[in-house]
Amino acid sequence: MGPPIIGVSENIKKIKELVEHVAHTGFNTVILGESGVGKEVIAQNLYQKSPRVGKPFVKINCAALPEGLLESELFGYERGAFTGAEQKHRGKFQMAHGGVLLLDEIGDMSLVLQAKLLHVLQSGEFAPLGSEKDLKTDTWVIAATNHDLKQDISDGKFREDLYYRLNIIKIYISPLRERPEDIEPLIDYYLDQYASQLGSVKIERPTREVIERLKQYHWPGNVRELQNILKRMLVLGDSHLIVDELFEATGQKQSSPMVPNREQSVETVRSFLDLDNKNLIDNNSFSLKAAKKKAVDKVEREIIAYVLDKMDWNRSKAAKILKVSYKTLLNKITELSINPPASSREN
């Protein structure tokens, strides 16, 4: 038995529903999603809920093998097909007959092999290298990739006809950072698993604070990274330290302006606009203009207050530094209700 599909997010709920509806069909399927989101888990679930369960589930990674080798692995070869082919070799298509063939990282398959794969999908037949006879195959092909295949098609790296052939069912798994609500159920699931693997060892659940921090993290390695983090916590014990390291190690990346973190910028927007959790749609007072004014006011207020504090609230000095007239500064202080700190108010 493979692992179940864990999560409470809309994305995961939809996937579970989809799996229930399509597992019996055996239609060619593409599973899309970043590395580590659990594409193979979905494939296994499809297999387990299908009438093919009990038949072979064969997996091959199309990125791990050079083209020639991948071809002979997929289709097999006859004895003497090429130098060194001393024995007949069964291909994955033959091994998966009646069952499922998972083509992992299909986006990395060469165009030549894509054409051969298309032929198999269209005809249901293939010929091992060096064989004159075509073999029939009844294999449910499930392909997985972290590529944007549509983009690969425009770049000429993926065959459009193969895409449509495979894409009868499409399952997209969102990255973990877009579904933080799944983190807690995932933690519970894996800790349970580790506990039963380790026998009688008692595993402490991370504190609420740690879980909240993990929800803030952007998980470039997705669920696989979460598993690794949990294992580290188990071994090292100090979960706070591990979370600190997590943010430190990726800190530079997150602060890079090229990769704005959506979660973070949402927070900034909220704080700037005092939106809190008010519903954006029903909030009639919201407009870009009003929002801009609020944001500018907020920044202006902070700058003026900072300079005033540095100058011990000497307004004429502050006005010179800010390069505004004394009068403008006084107006701003009133308008933005900037108050001197308690200590200087006494003076």
Partner 1 sequence: MVSSYKVLIIDDTEEVLSALCKFFKQKGYVVLSASNGLDGLKMIESGKDDLDIIITDLVLPNISGVAVISIVKKKFPKLPVIAITGWGEHPEALAKEAKADLVMEKPFKLPELEKAARDLLAK
**Per CB under 8 A, 52 contacts partner 1:** no
**CB nearer to partner 1: pick between 171 and 186:** 171
Q: How far apart are the C-alpha atoms of 192 and 170, rounded to whole Å?
A: 31
DSSP string, 40-104: HHHHHHHHHTSTTBTB-EEEEETTTS-HHHHHHHHHEE-TTSSTT--S-EE-HHHHTTTSEEEEE
Q: Name residues whose C-beta falls within 8 Å of residue 106's C-beta, 6 or more positions apart in sequence.
A: 30, 62, 143, 144, 145, 166
- Upper half-sphere CA count for residue 116 (Cβ side, 13 Å): 18
Q: How far apart are the C-alpha atoms of 24 and 46, rounded to whole Å?
A: 8
Among 79, 90, 170, 270, contact with partner 1 (rule: CB under 8 A): 170
Number of residues binding to partner 1, judged by CB under 8 A? 17
**CB nearer to partner 1: pick between 165 and 218:** 165
Tokens representing 104 are 């992992």
Taking the complex as a whole, the smallest distance from the CB of residue 230 to partner 1 amounts, in Å, to 31
**CB nearer to partner 1: pick between 18 and 135:** 18
**Per CB under 8 A, 22 contacts partner 1:** yes
**Per CB under 8 A, 161 contacts partner 1:** yes
> x/- string (CB under 8 A) for partner 1, residues 95-124?
------------------------------
CB 100 within 8 A of CB 47: yes
**Per CB under 8 A, 27 contacts partner 1:** yes
**Per CB under 8 A, 43 contacts partner 1:** no
**CB nearer to partner 1: pick between 25 and 131:** 25
Q: Would you give the DSSP letter of residue 106?
A: G
**Per CB under 8 A, 164 contacts partner 1:** yes
Taking the complex as a whole, the smallest distance from the CB of residue 31 to partner 1 amounts, in Å, to 11
**CB nearer to partner 1: pick between 6 and 168:** 168
Q: At what angle do helices 111-123 and 67-75 cross, to 10 degrees?
A: 20
Q: At what angle do helices 326-335 and 315-322 cross, to 10 degrees?
A: 100
Taking the complex as a whole, the smallest distance from the CB of residue 337 to partner 1 amounts, in Å, to 47
**Per CB under 8 A, 167 contacts partner 1:** yes
Q: Would you give the DSSP letter of residue 121?
A: H
CB 171 within 8 A of CB 31: yes
**CB nearer to partner 1: pick between 45 and 261:** 45
**Per CB under 8 A, 168 contacts partner 1:** yes
Q: How far apart are the C-alpha atoms of 214 and 212, rounded to whole Å?
A: 5
**Per CB under 8 A, 254 contacts partner 1:** no
Taking the complex as a whole, the smallest distance from the CB of residue 115 to partner 1 amounts, in Å, to 14
**Per CB under 8 A, 21 contacts partner 1:** yes
List contacts with partner 1 (CB under 8 A). 14, 17-18, 21-22, 25, 27, 160-161, 164-165, 167-172
